[in-house]
Amino acid sequence: MAGTRKGWPVGIRRGSAVDTGAVIDTQKLGRIVEEAASEVYLFAPDNFQFLLVNKGARENLGYTLEEMRARTPWSIKPLIDQEQFMTLVEPLLAGTKSQLDFETRHERKDRTSYDVAVRLQLMQFDGEAVFYAAVLDLTELRRTQAALQDASRRLDAILSNTEMAVFMMDECQHCAFMNPAAEQLTGFTFEETQGRTLHEVVHHTYPDGRHFPIEECAIDRAFPENNQTRGEEVFVHKDGSFYPVAFTASPMKDEHGTTVGTIIEARNIAAELEARAAMDAFNQTLKDRVDQALQEREKIETQLIQAQKMEAVGQLTGGIAHDFNNLLQVIGGNLQLLQKDLADDDRKQRRVTNALAGVRRGAELAAQLLAFGRQQALDPKPVNMGGLVRRMDDMLRRTLGEAIEIETVISGGLWNCLIDAAQVENVILNLAINARDAMEGRGKLTIEVGNASLDEAYAAEHAEVSAGQYVMLAVTDTGSGIPNEILNRVFDPFFTTKRPGEGTGLGLSMVYGFVKQSHGHVKIYSEQGEGTTVRIYLPRTRREEDISIPEPVSAPHATGNQTILVVEDDDAVRATTIEMLSDLGYAVLEANNADSAIAIVNSGIKIDLLFTDVVMPGELRSPELARRAKQKLPALQVLFTSGYTQNAIVHAGRLDEGVELIAKPFKREHLAQKIHVLINRGKDAAAATLITASDESGQDGTSGAGAFRKLRVLVVEDEVLIRMILCEMLDDLEHEVVEAGSVSAARDCLCANEFDVVITDLGLPDGSGVDLVREIVESEKPIAVIVASGHDGLSALNDLPQAKRVRHLNKPYDDNGLKVSLSQI
C-alpha cells in the first residue's frame, strides 16, 4: 500500500487520532493512486527522498519501492543534476508558483530512457509539506507525433510535386486549399482564391466579361452530391484563355458520414485531346492498311502452304531415299562383282553395263530427292565460282551441242563462296539442260557470275533471306519462257511441263533444295516467248580457296594384311559390301549393329578401318561407335556410308569436320580408292601409336592397347560334334582349349588347371550346367563364363553378385558370334 513513511498513508500522522471513515477514504485514495495509468511520485522537501512511487512508475522504471525510497528525483533524470533540480523547484519552495510543468527524460534501472511530461506541486497535508509529481510517459505520444509529421511531410511532398491539380473545398464550397499544380493550372494563387467558390475561380468570366452560367458547368453541379463524380469540363484561365480538363470530385465526410467539403482533382487534357484526334487519324490509316494486308494475306498463306508442302515432301523423300539407296547398293554391288566374273563374255558384259546404267540413273534420282529434301550431306569448301564455271565449259558445250551458243560473264574481283563444288556443278548442269530443252536445242545460254549484296529492304520482302554479301550465279536462256500461272510451281518435286518420259520433274526442285541447304537464295524470272533467268545467291566466305590437286590413287587394291570391320544392319547390303572388300584383298569382320561392333573392337582384334552405315538400329549410334572405337584404337580410320544421314554426322546441312562419307550406292572403284586413301592415312597414325606403346611398356608395343590376348578355355559340351566344331573355332582364334563332356569332368579339369574362360552348355548328362556356373562364379578364381545354349539360362543366376562375369552365346552360333562373346568378357 502506498504511503508517506513506513507505509503510512498521505495525510495520516503517526499516532494521530482519526475516525474509521477517514481511514477508509484514505485507503481508497491510496489504491486509486497506486493503480493510476500515469506515474505518481511523492517526495519530502527536506531530503528529497521518495515517499511514494506508484505501480505504473515502478514498473516503467524497473525499481522496487524500497529501491526508489533510496533515490532522489534528479537520480532518475539524466539531463538534470541536483543543482539544476534545486533551481527548478525554487519557485515552489519560495511560494511564487503553485505548480511547475516541464518535459525531461527519465532513466530506467536497465539504463534505457524515455521522454516524460512532469507536473510538480508542493502540497500541504495537515501542516506537512510534500512534493507531488504527476508524470506522463511521452514515448507513444512522440512516436505518434513523428508518424504524423512524417505523413504530413509525405503528403506535402506529394501534393507539391504532383502534376495533378488538387483543390480542397469547405462545406460552403469555398477554396480551402490549392496545391502548386492547381495554382499553375488556374493562374490564381491560393491567397487570391480565399472566400471564393471554385466556380468563381475556374469559370470566372467569358473573354468578353460575361459570367459562366452555373448550369453549364458540370463540375459545379457535382458538388452537392454525396458520391464521387468524374467528367470533362472547360476551365477559364486567369488570363481569359480556355482549356479543357478532366476532373474527379470526391466528397469529404466526417465521422458521422456528413459531407463537410469536396476534394477536386483536375488535369489539363489539351494534349490528350490532340492525341485522341491523332489516334482517330491513325485508326483510319490502320484500317486502310489492314485492308491492304488482308489482300496480301492470301498470298502469304499460299506461300506458307507451299513451304509446308515442300517440307513434308522433303522429309518423305529423305526416308524413301535411304531404303532406295540400300536396294541400289545391293543391285549395283552384285552387278559389279558379276561384271568382273564375265570379263570374257561381251554380250553379257553389255547387259550388265546397261543394268549398271540403270542403277546410276536410280542413284541420281535418289540424290535429287535428297537434294530437294535438303537431306544430302554437303561437304562445303571455299570455292571461286568463276574458276568452277570456266572448268565446266567443255563439258557444257559437249552436253548442249553446237547449235547452242554459250557465253560466260565472270566479274573481276570475284569473292569466294562456301559451297560443295560437286553439287554446284550438278546445279549448273541441270539448269543448262533445262535451258537446252526450253530452247529446243537452238539458242543462247548465258552464265554470269558476280558479287551481290542483298540489303535489309530485300530481306524484308523475302522472309527466308538474310541480308548480306553473296556470290550471284545467273543462268539465262532465250527459250520459250514459263507462263505466269505456273511460275510459282516450278520448284515443286515431280512438276514438269515436258511430255511423259522426257523428265522426272526433280531438276529445279533439286536446285532449290541445294541452295536452301547452303543458306542461299534462288529467284526465277521468266517472260513467255522471251526466255528465263535463274539467279542463285550463295553466301560469301573470306576463306581462301584450296587450289591443290589431289594425287591420283595408284593402287586401289589392298597392299598388305589389312582388316576392315563392316557394320551394316541390312543383310543384303552387308553381304555385297563384304564380297566387294574381300575381292579387293581385305580381311573383313562383320557386325549387324553398333553394339556388336564395339564388342569386336574391344576384343583386341586388329582392325585397320571401320566401315559403318550411319543409320543403325539399337541404342548405340554410329557416331558414338566411331568415337569409342577411336578411343580404343587411336590409329583406326573410319568411313561412313549412307543414303540418308538423318543429321547423325551432318549438322546445318554440312558434314562434320574430319568426317569421311561415301554415299550409297557406291561403285567398287570409288570404294577402293576411298579405303586406300584412309588405310594409308592410318599407317602413320599406327606407327606413332606403336612407338608410344613401346616407349611406355619398354617392349615392342605388343602389350599396348589393342594387343591380342591368348586365352586358356575350358569347353564343357556333351555333344561330340558340337564340341569338336567349337574347339576348332577356338583353335582358329589361337586360344588354348581343354575339353570336358560332363559336369564331373569339368570339375576335375578346374581343380587340375587354371582357366581364363569356361564355355558350357546347360543340359549336361550328370548334372545341371547352372549349378556348375554357380560353383565357378562363387569360387575365388577369376574365371569368366560363357553359357552356350539354345535358351537364356542366365535368369537363374541373377541373384549372384558376380553375375556380370557370365555371358550368353545363343545356339546356333558362328565364329563371329563366338568372337563377340569372347570380346565381351
Same domain, 503 and 580: no
Residue 11 confidence (pLDDT) above 50: no
pLDDT at 492: 64
The whole-angstrom distance between residue 290's C-alpha and the CA centroid of its chain comes to 35
Angle at which helices 346-372 and 270-341 cross, to 10°: 170
pLDDT at 77: 93
CA end-to-end distance (rounded Å), the chain: 100
pLDDT tens across 133-152, in order? Answer: 999 998 888 888 888 888 88
Cα(23)–Cα(32) distance, integer angstroms: 14
CATH number, domain at 406?
Answer: 3.30.565.10
Same domain, 423 and 446: yes
The domain boundary residue, chosen from 637, 672, 697? 697
Residue 330 falls within a domain, yes or no?
no
**165 contacts: CB under 8 Å, gap ≥ 6:** 178, 179, 181, 182, 184, 185, 186, 245, 265, 266, 267
Same domain, 661 and 742: no
Could you tell me which residues are beta bridge partners of residue 230?
A: 248
Residue 504 confidence (pLDDT) above 70: no
| pLDDT band of 706, cuts 50, 70, 90 | very low
Residue 316 falls within a domain, yes or no?
no
pLDDT at 75: 93
Average pLDDT for 230-248: 85
Comparing 71-80, 375-384, 665-674, 710-719, the range with the smallest average pLDDT is: 375-384
Spatial CA neighbour of 246 closest among 227, 219, 221: 219
Instruction: Kindly write down the DSSP assignment for every residue of 516-569, as one continuous string.
Output: HHTT-EEEEEEETTTEEEEEEEEEEE-SPP--PPPPPPS--S--SS-EEEEE-S
Same domain, 506 and 641: no
Residue 495 confidence (pLDDT) above 60: no
Instruction: Kindly write down the DSSP assignment for every residue of 79-102, as one continuous string.
Output: T--HHHHHHHHHHHHHTS-SEEEE
What's the Cα-to-Cα distance from 218 to each of 213, 230, 246, 260, rounded to whole Å?
11, 9, 11, 20
The whole-angstrom distance between residue 306's C-alpha and the CA centroid of its chain comes to 30
What's the sign of the alpha-carbon dihedral 317, 323, 329, 332? negative
Residue 360 confidence (pLDDT) above 80: no
Burial class, 576, CB count within 10 angstroms (exposed 0-12 / middle 13-18 / buried 19+) = buried
3-state secondary structure of 642: strand
**Structural domain range at position 117:** 20-142
pLDDT at 690: 47
pLDDT tens across 341-351, in order? Answer: 776 777 777 77
Please confirm whether the linkage preceding 665 is cis (ω < 30° from 0).
yes
pLDDT at 634: 85
pLDDT tens across 522-567, in order? Answer: 888 888 888 888 899 999 988 887 765 554 444 456 666 788 999 9
pLDDT at 33: 83
Average pLDDT for 284-302: 77
pLDDT at 725: 76
Same domain, 754 and 685: no
Same domain, 128 and 188: no
Comparing 277-286, 426-435, 540-549, 631-640, the range with the smallest average pLDDT is: 540-549
**719 contacts: CB under 8 Å, gap ≥ 6:** 761
The domain boundary residue, chosen from 506, 541, 576? 541
The domain boundary residue, chosen from 487, 506, 541? 541
Cell of 607: 582392325
3-state secondary structure of 367: helix
Residue 300 falls within a domain, yes or no?
no
Residue 317 falls within a domain, yes or no?
no
Residue 707 confidence (pLDDT) above 70: no
pLDDT at 694: 45
Cell of 771: 549349378
The whole-angstrom distance between residue 771's C-alpha and the CA centroid of its chain comes to 55
CATH number, domain at 630?
Answer: 3.40.50.2300
Residue 257 confidence (pLDDT) above 50: yes
Same domain, 568 and 677: yes
3-state secondary structure of 508: helix
Cell of 301: 498463306
Same domain, 392 and 514: yes
pLDDT at 23: 42
Query: Cβ atoms within 10 A of the Cβ of 587, count?
Result: 16
Question: Over 759-822, what HEC string results?
Answer: EECCEECCEEHHHHHHHHHHCCCCCEEEEEECCCCHHHHCCCCCHHHEEEEECCCCHHHHHHHH
pLDDT tens across 189-220, in order? Answer: 989 888 888 778 887 655 555 555 555 555 65
Cα(546)–Cα(550) distance, integer angstroms: 11
Residue 552 falls within a domain, yes or no?
no
Same domain, 681 and 806: no
pLDDT at 74: 94
Residue 607 falls within a domain, yes or no?
yes
Average pLDDT for 299-308: 65
Contact status, residue 625 vs residue 565, Cβ threshold 8 Å:
no
Average pLDDT for 464-479: 88
pLDDT tens across 611-654, in order? Answer: 998 877 778 888 889 888 988 888 888 998 876 655 555 554 45
Buried b (16+ CB within 10 A) or exposed e, 625-662: bbebbbeebbbbbbbbbbbbbeebbbeebbbeeebbbb
What's the Cα-to-Cα distance from 157 to each of 151, 153, 177, 179, 188, rounded to whole Å?
10, 6, 15, 10, 21
Same domain, 468 and 493: yes
Could you tell me which residues are beta bridge partners of residue 247?
A: 231, 266
pLDDT at 1: 35
pLDDT at 316: 63
Same domain, 505 and 434: yes
Same domain, 578 and 672: yes
3-state secondary structure of 245: strand
Contact status, residue 471 vs residue 415, Cβ threshold 8 Å:
yes
Question: Over 166-212, what HEC string results?
Answer: EEEECCCCEEEEECHHHHHHHCCCCHHHCCCEHHHHHCCCCCCCCCC
Residue 408 falls within a domain, yes or no?
yes
Cα(47)–Cα(715) distance, integer angstroms: 120
CATH number, domain at 222?
Answer: 3.30.450.20
Residue 91 confidence (pLDDT) above 90: yes
Residue-averaged pLDDT of the chain? 78
The residue behind cell 518435286 is: 493
Q: How many domains does the chain have?
A: 5
Residue 705 confidence (pLDDT) above 50: no
Average pLDDT for 8-18: 35
Comparing 262-266, 314-318, 600-604, the range with the smallest average pLDDT is: 314-318
Residue 125 falls within a domain, yes or no?
yes
Residue 390 confidence (pLDDT) above 80: yes
pLDDT at 10: 37
Comparing 160-174, 500-514, 602-616, 644-658, the range with the smallest average pLDDT is: 644-658
The residue behind cell 582357366 is: 755
